[in-house]
Amino acid sequence: MRIKVITILLLAGISSMSIGCVATQGDVSSVYARQTRLEAKMERLSQQVQSQQSAGVGGSNNVQLQQQVTQLEEQVKELNRSYASLEAKVNQGNLGLPTTPEIGSEGGSQLPSLDVQTEDFIFNQGYTDLSEGNYKGSREQFKLFLSKYPDSSKASDATYWVAESYYRQGEFEEAILEYQKFIDTYPKDERVPLSYLKQGLSLIEIGREEEAKLFFQTLIDKYPQSEEASTAKEKIRELAVNG
């Protein structure tokens, strides 16, 4: 219930920004930050569901967790649509473009073209592709973004999403390497524990369970109070039982 209330409040705030006359980069950053936190929460819940299923635990609690994950997935999709809409408005404003189509003398819409090489546009395209499951396209956009804007405030995000795109696509060896790049480059980022966790999960997927235990233990040692550490402990127990 608490998660549902939070997401309702988030969407209410987004709606108020979306209907305003002027969208600012601050609005976009706010929505993006909320979406990122929501995705992290969804990932932790998903791992909790999988752990319980692997341990043979069923019942109403597991069903409720799965329902929460489904609800969060829908909220993330809604946040992404709002993010894309706000980003487009900001890009148009920054380039001095009108936010509505101009109608030509023959009744056809004359949409001014955006500069597709702008920082925000490239990042937004990468994130939209990722959300829609176009992982290869997403990586291309984020890598282009990092090559053109390595000092951007969103560089850490782009680096993380490159790793995430490999993980979601099932390219686990590449995901492990890219998560490590993220950890080494941004060691103080709040997504570092999640990166360690996903490295361990990736290693399990490719049959390297002993190495996975090492990554899980590193996560537990470095971030003992994190939710990811709790999941890592569960995974170590599962591997011990299955081994």
Continuous segment of H or E residues that includes residue 188: none
Judged against a pLDDT cut of 60, whether residue 111 lies above it is answered with no
Q: How far is CA 9 from CA 6, 155, 218, in A?
A: 5, 29, 36
Cα–Cα distance measured from residue 237 to residue 221, given in angstroms and rounded to the nearest whole number: 16
Q: Alpha-carbon distance 149 to 175, whole Å?
A: 22
CB 195 within 8 A of CB 164: no
Mean pLDDT estimate for the chain: 74
Q: Residue 7: pLDDT band by 50, 70, 90 thresholds? A: very low
Alpha-carbon distance of 185 to 181, in angstroms, equals 6
Residue 84: Cβ within 10 Å count? 17
Go through 109-139 and write b for each residue having 16 or more CB atoms within 10 A of its CB, e for each that does not.
Answer: eeeeeeeeeeebbbbbbbbbbbbeebbebbb
Q: What is the pLDDT of residues 121-156, one digit of tens each?
A: 899 899 889 988 999 999 999 999 999 999 999 999
Q: How many CB atoms lie within 10 A of CB 178?
A: 23
pLDDT of residue 25: 45
Count the alpha carbons within 13 Å of 66 in the hemisphere toward its beta carbon. 12
Q: pLDDT tens, 21-37?
A: 444 544 554 555 555 55
Tokens of 176: 């492990």
Return the closest-CA partner of residue 180 out of 207, 199, 202, 157.
199
Residue 178 — φ and ψ, nearest 5°? -70, -35
189-215 core/surface letters (b: 16 or more CB in 10 A; e: else): bebbbbbbbbbbbbbbeeebeebbbeb
From CA 212, how far away is CA 217, in angstroms rounded? Answer: 9
pLDDT of 195 above 80: yes
pLDDT at 198 over 70: yes
Neighbours of 97 (CB within 10 A): 16
